[in-house]
Amino acid sequence: MLRMIPAKLDLTGLKCPLPALMTAKALKKLAPGQLLEVHCTDPLSVIDIPSLVHKTGGQVEITERTEQRIIFVIEKANGSIEEANAAADDNA
């Protein structure tokens, strides 16, 4: 089976909350199952981006983490961020 080539998002130099916000915007444009590769330099992105992805049921992996950059590969789930937030509100 061929591995899908991910869409790429370069967020180098951006600070919190922009990496998470721009990742969410990019994920909205993808179909379920599509991959997104995100390049960041903000150390807080290792908390913010996985949290965002897990809210939708997606998968995220940090494929590189150095002092200079962090690279995530994200697989979009079937749900949307809005659906995840609505479900959380219903359960509250």
Domain boundaries, position 51: 7-91
User: Residue 68 falls within a domain, yes or no?
Assistant: yes
Tracing tokens 């909205």 back to the chain, one arrives at: 28
**Mean pLDDT of the chain, nearest integer:** 86
Active-site residues, by number, are 16
Tally of structural domains, the chain: 1
Tens-place pLDDT, residues 62-83 = 999 999 999 999 999 986 555 5
Contact of 22 with 50, CB cutoff 8 Å: no
Q: What CATH number is given to the structural domain containing 81?
A: 3.30.110.40
For residues 38 and 62, give the distance between their C-alpha atoms in angstroms, rounded to a whole number: 9
User: Residue 54 falls within a domain, yes or no?
Assistant: yes
For the whole model, what pTM was predicted? Answer: 0.80
User: Residue 47 falls within a domain, yes or no?
Assistant: yes
For residue 36, the one-letter residue type is L
Tens-place pLDDT, residues 10-54 = 999 999 999 999 999 999 999 999 999 999 999 999 999 999 999
